Structure 1
Amino acid sequence: MAERESRPTATKTSPGSRPPRPAEAARQACDQLASLIVHEPEGVSGVTRHEDGWVVSVDVLEVARIPDTTSLLATYEVRVDERGELQEYRRVRRYRRGAADDC
């Protein structure tokens, strides 16, 4: 089994402190999603502020193939609250790495 890449641990906010910034929310969403699914996040394609936290779009390699342009990726929508705690996640899209977005 492959070892997970070590990532710096994101600092969670304490009561009364400021909410996480977009980069912190994205890092926390990626870390928490990785602990729940068997695939490692490859990157973040969106961060949106909501009244109760953040919605982060996380791109994940689900099936590696050769050539790499035929690998299957997925985008997960991850909601974290004001403290950076995961509230929910869901896969919203699955696509080939070499595929263009629909216009």
Structure 2
Amino acid sequence: MAARLLAELTGKEPQGVTSLAPADEGWEVEVEVVEDHRVPSSADILSLYEIQIDQEGNLLSWRRTRRYPRGRGDEAQ
């Protein structure tokens, strides 16, 4: 649900949900997306978006929290 909402809002291709946690008003979801396709794909730029949805799946808020080259997502910020 959150990945689909983000794709509709940004036009970016979701790669997957990286975290899901309960929040005061519903759920906090982190979604990784391809921000910029490059050739070869190992040079793609990815981003993490934090999305807040309520219990019914309605969007409360969203924001980009990180941007990084593919394969470097777990390195210290």
| TM-score, length-scaled by structure 2 | 0.90
Count of aligned residue pairs for this structure pair: 76
Question: How far 1:102 sits from its partner (Å)?
Answer: 2.5
**Structure 1 position 88 matched with structure 2 position 61:** yes
Runs of 4+ in 1 over 6 A off after TM superposition: none
Structure 2 unmatched runs, 5+ = none
Structure 1 unmatched runs, 5+ = 1-27
Q: Which has the higher strand share?
A: 2
Identity %: 39
**Structure 1 position 57 matched with structure 2 position 30:** yes
Write the distance in 2 (CA, Å) between the matches of 1:54 and 1:38. Answer: 22
Write the distance in 2 (CA, Å) between the matches of 1:97 and 1:68. Answer: 8
**Structure 1 position 47 matched with structure 2 position 20:** yes
**Structure 1 position 34 matched with structure 2 position 10:** no
Write the distance in 2 (CA, Å) between the matches of 1:100 and 1:58. Answer: 12
